Structures are given as C-alpha cells and as structure tokens.
Chains A and B, each alone.
Chain A
Amino acid sequence: MNKDSQGALWEVFVQKKPGQPYVHCGNLHAFDAEMALQNARDVYTRRNEGTALWVVPSASIVASSPEDIGPFFEPANDKVFRHPTFYKLPKEIKHM
C-alpha cells in the first residue's frame, strides 16, 4: 500500500474588503494551486469573511525566529524621531 498523502500545507490570507490588506486567517491542505484556492474559498469564506484570497504554499514562507526578536526589532525602539509625535509644533497649528 502506498504511503498516504493529504496534500501539501498552504497558508491562507483573506482580504475583507477591496483596498484592505490581506490578513492571514489559517491553513489548509491541497494538492495543487487551483484546489488550494477553491478550498480556501470553501473553508475560510463561508460567512462572508472576505472578497479576495491569497494562498501560498507553507513551504514558501520565510519567517524570522524567536531569537531574532532582539537584533531585528529592538533597535527600532529608540528611533522615536520616526514617529510624528516626536516633533513639536506651534500651538496655533492644529493639524499637520
């Protein structure tokens, strides 16, 4: 008997409304790209969750690791000048 296969694992991203970003909503199994797209529709948009889908083979995702937290992200902590609140404006200017 051949070894069983349930297909490859895919990542599913759904766009709630046109113009909005695609948000990761879960995973599924599929044997090819068209099937992955259809399965995503049948599994993840049964309750009007979205108007567009991306499916990506999980094997294609490149992820940072937990050890990267320090070197990757903490250096951003002290760059307050990247945020608008860092700058002082004359009181008279209400919006900028």
Chain B
Amino acid sequence: MDANFEAKLARNENIEPKDWMPDIYRKHLIRQVSQHAHSEIIGMLPEGNWITRAPSLRAKMVLIAKVQDEGGHGLYLYTAAESLNISREELLEQLHTGKAKYSSIFNYPTLTWADIGAIGWLVDGAAIMNQVMLQRTSYGPYARAMVRICKEESFHQRQGYEITCKLAAGTKEQKEMAQDALNRFWWPTLMMFGPPDAASSNSENAIKWKIKRESNDQLRQRFVNQTVPQAELIGLTIPDKNLEWNEAKKGYDFSDPDWKEFNNVIHGNGPCNRERLGARVKAHENGRWVREAAIAYAEKRKQKAAAYQ
C-alpha cells in the first residue's frame, strides 16, 4: 500500500479520497486544508468591516463581490477537507475552540480604506503565490479547489492594487493613507509565508509529500521581487531600510520580519484575535436556531410526503 502511495507521488499523480494514504499525510492535509479554509472565512471579517463604508457604489459592489468570493473559497476548501473524513461541524468546532489556526494576517485591523487596497494588493498577492503552487498539490480535491480558487482570485489582487493606485495618485490625505497602509501591512504580509525554512517544522514533510512544492523562503523572495517595482511605480516606499537589489541573486535583499511579533500573534495576542474569533463564534451561535429550523422543516416535509404515499 505504502509503495503504491509513494509510486503515485513519484509519478506526480494525485492522491484521491478513496486511495490509501498514510495517516500522517491525512492529518497533515486536514490541518493544512482546514487552516486554509478557516483563513478564508476569518478573512471575510477585516474586509467586511469596510463594506458599509466603501466610498463609492462601484467600490462597494467590488468589495462585496470579493468578500463573498472569500466565503466561496472557504466553502470549496471545507468540502475538500471533508473528503478526508472529517465533517464541517468538526472543522468549525476546531476553529471556534481555538484548536485550529488560521492565517495571522487577519488578526490585524483594517483602520482605513487604504487597508482594503493593501489587503488586496499585498495579502492577496502573497496568498496567490502560495495558491498557484497549490494547484499542483498532491491531494486531488485540494488541487481542484485551488484551480477554481485561483481562477476566481485573479481579480482580487488587481482590485486592491487599483484602490492603492487611486489613493497614491489622489489628494495628500489619500496618499498618506496609502503609505500608512503599506507600512502596516508590509511586515505581516511577509510573515504570511511562514517561518524561515530553517525553523519550519512542517515544511519538510509537506515538500516530501508534494503537498507544498516550494519553500517558505522561496515564495517570500518571489513576492518581494514582484512587489517592490509595483510600489515604486506608484510612488510608495517599502518600509525597509535594508531593501536593496542584489544583482548576483537577481533578487532583492530585505530585512527579516519580526518573528517575535509573529509568534505573539499566532499565540492569540494580535490586535484582533479575540474580535475575529468572537465574531465567528457569535455568528455560529446566532445561526443555530436557523439551522435547527431548516432541519425541522425538512423533516416535516418528508413526513408529509410519506403520508401522501
């Protein structure tokens, strides 16, 4: 069995739900896919925070569509995780009890409209790097969900950059707003790729099993290389004094993010950890009677239909 699994990986074939797989592969995937799903769902909150205040009708429609997409992506990913023999109820319980993690970036607050631009441009930009890679991940349902997600996500980064461009080209207040958002979101975005390769405990297996195909540091470097020229083009400054082009490696040298802060946020001490999880738990609890009503109603219909026959 084991040999069959290894052989499939070696041939770059997908592992499918009914295939035999080692228990730790299954566990690793449940953890990663559900963490990804939770991130999409929690990720609706910081941006959702600005839906009622989006400054134009167009911006409002775009933002709603985008936040809705995040919800859809969470949904695709939950069903991918469910194919690994865990129910959505269990997955949500893990989130609500704090057992499961989600991306720390969403524990930062969205203070101004420019943050909505920064999230689309930087956070989605970083997420896409990861997600493009994950389209080739070894677990079939996860890979297929990622293909769909990448297709839909393609407008997200553009809308964020568009907001930032408009602000950078706008009034003095708008430009300051855009620079301030970049200053605040730059480091947390770099942290999104995870700890440095040398310190990442899960990376090695993930690469071996072809769940991940590139390392945290590789993806982080690619992100910096791609983003710096985009900032320069619109006259914004990356908040890193050590940022410098390195001709030899054909990439930028840049400072290490503050990993102490990263660990603090992961361990629940980010500015919005409590609010984010609290909002999800509240929505879940407030929705309970709705779900119970739907069950009761369906049951009544079934009984009525049976009585007819």
Interface of A toward B, CB cutoff 8 Å? 2-7, 9, 25-29, 31-32, 35, 43, 46-47, 63, 65-66
Contacts and interface: CB of A to CB of B under 8 A. Distances in A.
Interface of B: 16, 18-20, 68, 72, 75-76, 79, 82, 87-89, 92-93, 145, 148, 152, 284, 288, 291-292, 294-295, 297-298, 301
Contacts of B291: 4-7, 31
A6 B74 CA distance: 14
Contacts of A46: 68, 72
Contact of B79 (A3, A5, A28, A66): A28
Nearest to A4: B89
A71 to B, nearest CB: 16
16 contacts: A2-B292, A4-B92, A6-B88, A6-B89, A9-B79, A26-B145, A31-B294, A31-B295, A31-B298, A32-B297, A32-B298, A32-B301, A35-B294, A43-B72, A43-B75, A66-B19
Interface residues of chain B: helix, strand, loop or mixed (majority): helix
Contacts of B301: 32
B31 to A, nearest CB: 20
Nearest to A64: B18
Given A47-B152, A66-B19, A26 B76 contact: yes
Given A9-B79, A31-B294, 9 more contacts: A5-B295, A6-B88, A26-B79, A27-B79, A28-B75, A32-B298, A43-B72, A43-B75, A66-B20
B73 to A, nearest CB: 11
Contacts of B284: 4
A6 B37 CA distance: 15
Contacts of A47: 152
Nearest to B144: A26
A77 B112 CA distance: 62
Contact of A27 (B16, B82, B295): B82
Nearest to B298: A32
A4 B79 contact: no
Contacts of B297: 31-32
